[in-house]
Amino acid sequence: MIKMNTEQIALQAQDAHKRTLTLIDGLSKEQLIGPLLPIVNPLLWEIGHVAHFYEFWVLRKHLKQPPLIANADSLYDSMTIAHDERWNLPLPSLKNTLNYMQAVLDNIQECLTTGEDKVRDYLVQYAVFHQDMHNEAYTYTRQTLDYPAPPIKNFDKENSMYKTTFNRGRVSGDTKIPGGIFMLGATKGDEFVFDNEKWAHPVEIMPFNIAITAVSNAEYLLFVEAGGYEKHEYWDNEGWKWREQKQLLHPIYWRSTNNGWQVKHFDHWSNMKMHNALIHVCWHEAQAYCRWAERRLPTEAEWEAAAAAEPIFTLVNRRYPWGENTPQAQLANLDGYTLDTVDVAAYAAGDSAFGCRQMIGNVWEWTQDTFTPYPGFEPDMYKDYSQPLFGNTKVLRGGSWATRSRMIRNSWRTYYGPERNDVFAGFRTCAL
């Protein structure tokens, strides 16, 4: 069980704020608004929305403080402002928005020094993770809109960690997961969980074989070069309709040149790193590859069992694939510092009990399942976090290179529509 004290939560809030500033650094006034697209928000609106989330739930709703700006709800409440309306709002200037963000942060920092308040701490932690999720969204938005890579400080490529952890090449094959009763979901002993993780409940899992690593660029390239995007038999009807609409013959950020395949990374192209984890593919593409390869996606329960279970299933699962210790740089590609995926064979120290690699970090992994509630589901205070997406989205697990290490764990569930190829998602496969 991971417990956070108020000082740690305060530091997290400061860190999330700094990351937000980094992710909008260097963008022009026009770029901060950007085009109206269904898969992005105007960044100027989004950073104000995140500040409003802290203010609304912590300062106003819980601590009964007056609003910091009079019209914040009419500007930033995502529950009442339709997506397409966000480009037409009378948004404050960037300077005024940043002043609002800082004022909210200052008030949050102050309230965390005023004695013990478990509800307050829970709400601030919730708001920090909400900001972390938006920070990841800002990161892939920069890719979607062809903006430069964010100026996140990268690892020093000369240090020993980089040399020993990355550039490992290929690891292939499956590992066998025994059948049994597995406790899927978060336990009530966990300090913080989201509503869609509640609560751990028994599911029966039949024995299955799962790939040790996520699918690499090289593996997926075989499918592309075999004409996989042109053969209807590999796609279900919905997926084929999506592919025809998009007119794709390969992943969205790939291109074939006279000098070989290249991958677009934010606003520039570079030669494909063959053993890096595949990224920016949707659920339809993952399913098509599986049909071609005569494989399948894992179910959500299978994925979590491969990541969290001990070799003999017990009622106690690991919080992380490697155990209970919090993520460290040698265990998983998280926190955005690499600014990219790495070789699927890297981070052997982070293997699960069954030898599955990179179950946490590098790329979010699509699962077979539609996002649905666990038995006895009850929404948390932010009712729109999970409920509107049940039945309409697919489950992804594990986090990506841009996901913050402080929030990810084996039981974490995220969800996107099956058509989303803009997010930091790949997949691993199971034997039929």
In a domain, 289, yes or no: yes
Q: Are residues 236 and 327 in the same domain?
A: yes
Residues 196, 48 share a domain: no
Residues 368 and 296 in one domain: yes
From CA 241, how far away is CA 405, in angstroms rounded? 37
Task: Judge if 190 and 87 occupy the same domain.
Answer: no
CATH of the domain at 426: 3.90.1580.10
Give pLDDT, residue 325.
94
Please give the model's pTM, rounded to 2 decimal places.
0.95
125-156 burial, b if ≥16 CB within 10 A, otherwise e?
bbbbbbbbebbbbbbbbbbbbebeebebeeee
- Give yes or no for residue 206 having a pLDDT over 80: yes
- 217-266 pLDDT tens trace: 999 999 999 999 999 999 999 999 999 999 999 999 999 999 999 999 99
Same-domain status, 51 and 126: yes
pLDDT of 281 above 50 = yes
In-domain check, residue 423: yes
The one-letter code for the residue type at 374 is Y
> pLDDT tens digits for 77-128?
999 999 999 999 999 999 999 999 999 999 999 999 999 999 999 999 999 9
Task: Give 170's pLDDT tier (boundaries 50, 70, 90).
Answer: low
Cα–Cα distance measured from residue 182 to residue 203, given in angstroms and rounded to the nearest whole number? 5
Is there a domain that residue 1 lies in?
Answer: no
Question: Domain boundary residue among 113, 144, 175?
Answer: 144
**Percent residues over pLDDT 90 in the chain:** 90
- Asked if 92 and 137 sit in the same domain, the reply is yes
In a domain, 305, yes or no: yes
Same domain, 185 and 211: yes
Domain contains 259: yes
Question: What pLDDT sits at residue 315?
Answer: 75
Same domain, 225 and 293: yes
Mean pLDDT value across residues 141-157 = 85
- Name the domain count of the chain: 2
Residue 172: band (very low, low, confident or very high) from pLDDT cuts 50, 70, 90: confident
> 197 is in which domain, residue-wise?
155-432
DSSP class of 74: H
Residue 286 lies in a domain: yes
**The domain that contains 47 carries what CATH number?**
1.20.120.450
Q: Angle at CA 350, nearest 5°, toward 345 and 353? A: 105
Place of tokens 């106690």: 316
Tell whether the torsion through CA atoms of 370, 366, 421 and 331 is positive or negative. Answer: positive
Residue type, position 276, single letter: N
Residues 264, 391, single domain; the answer is: yes
Q: If we measure between CA atoms, which residue out of 204, 331, 221, 209 comes closest to residue 274?
A: 221
Lowest mean pLDDT among 114-118, 311-315, 346-350: 311-315
Report if residue 273 sits inside a domain: yes
Q: Is residue 344 part of a domain?
A: yes
Cis before residue 292, ω within 30 degrees of 0?
A: no
- pLDDT of residue 336 exceeding 50: yes
- Judge whether residue 156 has pLDDT over 90: no
